[in-house]
Chain A
């Protein structure tokens, strides 16, 4: 949780220094939901996410250097500088991407669960979505498939109360989102996202069910984002200062830290040591990102197709041009 919090604070600083660009969706306040859900996963389990993806990637064990590198647009980034903030991915760690179209990732996650079922693997898929994503057609179609095919998937709805500036109550006929699972005769439940251990135990239970019994489920985690929808949104036009202050009193890090101390599960000195270690790690990630090379312009069409025959297939479209396009990718013209 601390790593995500401090990492994202650094991301915001680097964004202001224009070393990170494009859309950038921070998730401060949601760390309990994120870590609770993801730390219940086993190595073989797969995670899909929306564009609010930095924390989920880090929780799944994606190297902070690769996350920061991606945000900096470097070759060392998790998508080699092609994807940016919304499109992190680490296939080897079962982190199957941040995706930019609301709810677009859920059908894909169902497909990944289909593969698990097809190959009879002992694993499950978790797919993170925002509250507002449950109003998309893709939500309904994908979950129906998961239900009728008995797929091992948990749809993780991070209900942070808002889709941009619209409240859940305003956007959803059934604002208790976990109840939407019943439309598919699927198990649904809601948990307090500011209590990381509560999330952890609920997510663990549902993932185990998915893995062992092939039962899909919806887990709604109620949480809050402190920052605006993206760095471009101040986040104040549609909610009150009192509301924000109230939520900050229930900060997931605060709650957990206090519990650890109260129950003597950790000492202040241990907590301070973690804080120092994490700060150092984030610093290192920035250094690694800075040191990583920028992808050269000559690599623009790299990664467009993977089949080795592609070059040949396209060669007759326009001789000499890598994929038949007349793309005017001339060094020096890219100003």
Chain B
């Protein structure tokens, strides 16, 4: 690179580094932003997302908590009502259940229940995801519980750039937001804009691959898988799949999804969580209305088998969403493979 070359406009980061950068930039930008969670200081976060931040910002801005999710999520809500901008880390999504009442019965209700008199600019960030034999109580992806709840917003980025931009947008947003990260996504690499004001609009899906034959709709790590499978479909079957990465679950960008399906006429929804009453159920319901005359095949879904996550490797492999299942399902929707949806 010559001495006169302009500074590159992006940097290659892992998803984990992108989240860390977003947190650091917001901590620098706004003194009311602070982090709170278990093991986020000396231990640097269970998944090392907050590495270095405790050293840089100290124990007031990076506040370590005991294992008391209901207590500190609630404390985050109260602090947010007073105008602070807490970013609460829950070690993994599984443990948010003990704080569910604080989130659903309190954070999500505040603004409406009090007629707009007070708000709750709270961010909760936490990874979901299964695999790695973590078993039933530690492998769940139930972001839909929160996406189901009016008053909440839920985003679930799959790329480092979106992890950076959506987190920052969430911190600047005036309402309670769950930012769903993903254990598998943490090591994904990608370009992140060198811009401390890079924010990604909440409520906007991204078309991460264009194609005309079928639309794969996904979020979080499933969107990364969908892209991989799209390349495989092209290589092995000459199929051009379009991939829509939802990025936001509530609000949901039905417009982008339905425009894509109006073009491709076929849709497969992929979600690492259970399909029954899940995010893919919502998508399918919306699509059938928006794309009633455009569909050449039933909308199909791939999700986690409807069991708690088993431990034994081969059972887990059979239960989780993987590339092979997505591929088989896509071929089935395209009429190019066996029908895997009817028994």
Q: Mark A residues whose CB is within 8 Å of B.
A: 21-23, 70, 73-74, 79, 81-84, 86-87, 99-104, 132-133, 135-138, 163-166, 170-172, 237-238, 294-295, 297, 299-301, 304, 318-321, 323-330, 333-335
User: Within 8 Å of chain A (Cβ to Cβ): is B343?
Assistant: yes
Asked if A326 and B301 sit within 8 Å, CB to CB, the answer is yes
Q: Return B36 CB to nearest CB of chain A, in Å.
A: 14
Contact of A101 among B98, B132, B302, B318 (CB under 8 A): B98
User: Within 8 Å of chain A (Cβ to Cβ): is B58?
Assistant: no
Which chain B residues border A165 with CB–CB below 8 Å?
Answer: 39, 42-43
What band does the interface of chain B fall in when counting residues whose beta carbon is under 8 Å from A? 35 or more
Contact of B343 among A81, A238, A318 (CB under 8 A): A318
Asked if A297 and B315 sit within 8 Å, CB to CB, the answer is yes
B17-25, B65-73, B77-85, B259-267 - interface stretch: B65-73
- Please name the residue on chain B nearest to A103 by beta carbon: B67
Give me the 5 closest cross-chain CB pairs, A-B, nearest first.
A320-B343, A84-B311, A22-B133, A73-B312, A325-B306
- Please name the residue on chain B nearest to A87 by beta carbon: B135
Asked if B135 and A100 sit within 8 Å, CB to CB, the answer is yes
Which chain B residues border A87 with CB–CB below 8 Å?
Answer: 135-137, 311
Q: Return B225 CB to nearest CB of chain A, in Å.
A: 13
- Please name the residue on chain A nearest to B68 by beta carbon: A135
User: Within 8 Å of chain A (Cβ to Cβ): is B138?
Assistant: yes
- How far does the alpha carbon of A330 sit from the alpha carbon of B263 in the complex, in Å? 31
Q: Return B38 CB to nearest CB of chain A, in Å.
A: 7
User: Within 8 Å of chain A (Cβ to Cβ): is B324?
Assistant: yes
Instruction: Please indicate which of the listed interface residues B42, B68, B311, B343 has the most CB atoms of chain A within 10 Å of its own CB.
Output: B311
- How far does the alpha carbon of A178 sit from the alpha carbon of B150 in the complex, in Å? 43
- How far does the alpha carbon of A321 sit from the alpha carbon of B340 in the complex, in Å? 12
- How far does the alpha carbon of A202 sit from the alpha carbon of B241 in the complex, in Å? 67
Which chain A residues border B176 with CB–CB below 8 Å?
Answer: none
Instruction: Please indicate which of the listed interface residues B67, B307, B322, B329 has the most CB atoms of chain A within 10 Å of its own CB.
Output: B67
- Encoded as 1 (CB less than 8 Å from any A CB) or 0, chain B from 293 to 305 comes to 0000000011101
Which chain B residues border A319 with CB–CB below 8 Å?
Answer: 343
- How far does the alpha carbon of A267 sit from the alpha carbon of B308 in the complex, in Å? 50
Asked if B343 and A172 sit within 8 Å, CB to CB, the answer is no
Using A87-B136, A329-B305 as known contacts, say yes or no to A81 and B67 having CB atoms under 8 A apart: no
- Please name the residue on chain A nearest to B132 by beta carbon: A22
User: Within 8 Å of chain A (Cβ to Cβ): is B240?
Assistant: no
Using A73-B313, A136-B98 as known contacts, say yes or no to A163 and B67 having CB atoms under 8 A apart: yes
Asked if A326 and B43 sit within 8 Å, CB to CB, the answer is no
Question: Restricting to B305-343, which residues have a CB under 8 Å from any CB of A?
Answer: 305-308, 310-315, 317-319, 322, 324-325, 328-329, 340-343
- Encoded as 1 (CB less than 8 Å from any A CB) or 0, chain B from 77 to 97 comes to 000000000000000001101
- How far does the alpha carbon of A99 sit from the alpha carbon of B98 in the complex, in Å? 14
Using A318-B343, A334-B317 as known contacts, say yes or no to A325 and B305 having CB atoms under 8 A apart: yes
Q: Return B260 CB to nearest CB of chain A, in Å.
A: 23
Instruction: Please indicate which of the listed interface residues B97, B315, B325, B343 has the most CB atoms of chain A within 10 Å of its own CB.
Output: B315
User: Within 8 Å of chain A (Cβ to Cβ): is B64?
Assistant: yes
23 intermolecular pairs with C-beta atoms under 8 Å apart: A22-B134, A22-B135, A73-B133, A81-B310, A81-B315, A82-B135, A82-B311, A99-B137, A100-B135, A133-B67, A136-B69, A165-B42, A165-B43, A300-B307, A320-B343, A323-B306, A324-B276, A325-B305, A327-B303, A328-B340, A334-B314, A334-B317, A335-B322
Which chain A residues border B318 with CB–CB below 8 Å?
Answer: 297, 300, 329, 333-334
Asked if A300 and B305 sit within 8 Å, CB to CB, the answer is yes
Q: Return A333 CB to nearest CB of chain B, in Å.
A: 5
Asked if B67 and A328 sit within 8 Å, CB to CB, the answer is no
- Please name the residue on chain A nearest to B327 by beta carbon: A333
Asked if A294 and B312 sit within 8 Å, CB to CB, the answer is yes
Using A81-B310, A82-B315, A318-B343 as known contacts, say yes or no to A330 and B135 having CB atoms under 8 A apart: no
Which chain A residues border B310 with CB–CB below 8 Å?
Answer: 81-82, 295, 300
Using A23-B134, A320-B343 as known contacts, say yes or no to A329 and B319 having CB atoms under 8 A apart: yes
Contact of B138 among A23, A135, A329 (CB under 8 A): A23
Which chain A residues border B340 with CB–CB below 8 Å?
Answer: 328, 330
- How far does the alpha carbon of A325 sit from the alpha carbon of B301 in the complex, in Å? 11
Asked if A326 and B275 sit within 8 Å, CB to CB, the answer is yes
- Please name the residue on chain B nearest to A100 by beta carbon: B137
Which chain B residues border A137 with CB–CB below 8 Å?
Answer: 68, 70-71, 98
Asked if A73 and B307 sit within 8 Å, CB to CB, the answer is no
Asked if B307 and A301 sit within 8 Å, CB to CB, the answer is yes
Asked if B64 and A320 sit within 8 Å, CB to CB, the answer is no
User: Within 8 Å of chain A (Cβ to Cβ): is B46?
Assistant: yes
Asked if B133 and A84 sit within 8 Å, CB to CB, the answer is yes
Q: Return B334 CB to nearest CB of chain A, in Å.
A: 16
Contact of B43 among A81, A132, A166, A335 (CB under 8 A): A166
Which chain B residues border A86 with CB–CB below 8 Å?
Answer: 135, 137-138
Contact of A166 among B39, B70, B94, B274 (CB under 8 A): B39
Which chain B residues border A334 with CB–CB below 8 Å?
Answer: 314, 317-318, 322, 324
Contact of B328 among A163, A323, A328 (CB under 8 A): A328
Instruction: Please indicate which of the listed interface residues B133, B303, B312 has the most CB atoms of chain A within 10 Å of its own CB.
Output: B312
- Encoded as 1 (CB less than 8 Å from any A CB) or 0, chain B from 127 to 143 comes to 00000111111100000
Which chain B residues border A299 with CB–CB below 8 Å?
Answer: 315
- How far does the alpha carbon of A326 sit from the alpha carbon of B269 in the complex, in Å? 13
Asked if B329 and A138 sit within 8 Å, CB to CB, the answer is no
Which chain A residues border B322 with CB–CB below 8 Å?
Answer: 333-335
Q: Return A157 CB to nearest CB of chain B, in Å.
A: 13
Asked if A295 and B312 sit within 8 Å, CB to CB, the answer is yes
Asked if B302 and A328 sit within 8 Å, CB to CB, the answer is yes
Asked if A320 and B342 sit within 8 Å, CB to CB, the answer is yes
- How far does the alpha carbon of A320 sit from the alpha carbon of B305 in the complex, in Å? 15
- Please name the residue on chain A nearest to B343 by beta carbon: A320
Contact of B307 among A22, A79, A295, A304 (CB under 8 A): A304
Q: Return B59 CB to nearest CB of chain A, in Å.
A: 10
- Please name the residue on chain B nearest to A80 by beta carbon: B312
- Please name the residue on chain B nearest to A232 by beta carbon: B46
